[in-house]
């Protein structure tokens, strides 16, 4: 009686509670995906800030490269190749390439490990609107079934079902749009830092190959 006097609850919370199980399931999936995407975006923002510092340290000849950070691992990889010296018949350019290749292998492995979770952003950005649209279609189908059952096409009968259906699309967009923005920014920053790291690797390779170990010089 009270609902008839005041009309259906069209607030977001009311629409979610009134929605059918399928539409509620769609909303729940999108909400969880959105939370996961925000967690990935925040974690990667912190990680990229730390990675930027490591890349800057890579070219610092006076920095102490110890521990398990990326700069230290890259320098240890370079030092291993440098300490082996130039092989018989190996040119300086080939020696430098061997040092840099060892560093690039470490860099590629590290970057692959750091990008875990990023595909979730791309998936949510691409699929989220369509999942929301599925909830919308399902909700509208339920509204038409209600119209057929009640033989009433008044706004009070049609509005709740359509509103909850459209809410599913809105939630899909709310999940997808930040995910797309975060994915583009994160991949762009990873790409830029990779290029900066490769430039640092080239500097380190040139510096080490210019002064091979004593054993290598003696062999020459």
Q: Is the pLDDT at 141 greater than 50, yes or no?
A: yes
Q: Mean pLDDT throughout 188-197?
A: 93
Residue among 161, 193, 184 at smallest CA distance from 52: 193
Asked whether 120 and 36 are in contact (CB, 8 A), the reply is yes
pLDDT at position 6, please?
A: 53
The residue assigned the tokens 């490769």 is 198
pLDDT of the residue at 143: 72
Judged against a pLDDT cut of 90, whether residue 33 lies above it is answered with yes
What's the pTM value of the predicted model, to 2 decimals? 0.77
Tell me what pLDDT residue 4 has.
45
**Distance from C-alpha of 60 to C-alpha of 64, rounded to nearest angstrom:** 9
Tell me which of 23-37, 73-87, 92-106 is least confident: 73-87
**Percent share of the chain, pLDDT over 70:** 77
Q: Which of 15-19, 48-52, 153-157, 161-165 shows the highest mean pLDDT?
A: 48-52
From CA 129, how far away is CA 21, in angstroms rounded?
19
10 against 36, higher pLDDT:
36
DSSP 77-101: HHHHHHHH-PPTT--HHHHHHHHHH
Whether residue 118 is predicted with pLDDT greater than 50 in this model: the reply is yes
Q: Which of 29-43, 49-63, 84-98 has the highest mean pLDDT?
A: 29-43
Is residue 38 helix, strand or coil?
Answer: helix
Q: How far apart are CA 86 and CA 213, in angstroms?
A: 8
Amino acid 58: pLDDT: 82
SS3 7: coil
């Amino acid at each position: 009686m009270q609902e008839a006097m005041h009309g259906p609850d069209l607030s977001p919370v009311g629409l979610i509670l009134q929605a059918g199980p399928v539409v509620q399931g769609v909303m729940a999936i999108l909400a969880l995906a959105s939370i996961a995407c925000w967690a990935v975006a925040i974690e990667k923002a912190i990680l990229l800030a730390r990675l930027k510092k490591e890349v800057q340290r890579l070219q610092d000849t006076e920095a102490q490269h110890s521990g398990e950070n990326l700069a230290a691992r890259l320098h240890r990889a370079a030092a291993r190749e440098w300490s082996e010296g130039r092989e018989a018949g190996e040119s300086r350019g080939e020696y430098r390439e061997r040092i840099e290749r060892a560093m690039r292998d470490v860099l590629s492995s590290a970057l692959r490990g750091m990008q875990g979770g990023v595909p979730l952003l791309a998936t949510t950005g691409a699929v989220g609107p369509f999942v929301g649209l599925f909830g919308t279609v399902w909700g509208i189908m339920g509204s038409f079934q209600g119209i057929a059952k009640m033989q009433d096409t008044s706004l009070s009968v049609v509005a709740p079902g359509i509103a909850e259906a459209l809410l599913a699309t809105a939630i899909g967009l709310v999940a997808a749009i930040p995910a797309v923005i975060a994915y583009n920014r994160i991949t762009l920053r990873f790409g830029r830092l990779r290029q900066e790291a490769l430039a640092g690797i080239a500097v380190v390779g040139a510096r080490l190959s210019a002064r091979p170990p004593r054993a290598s010089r003696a062999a020459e």
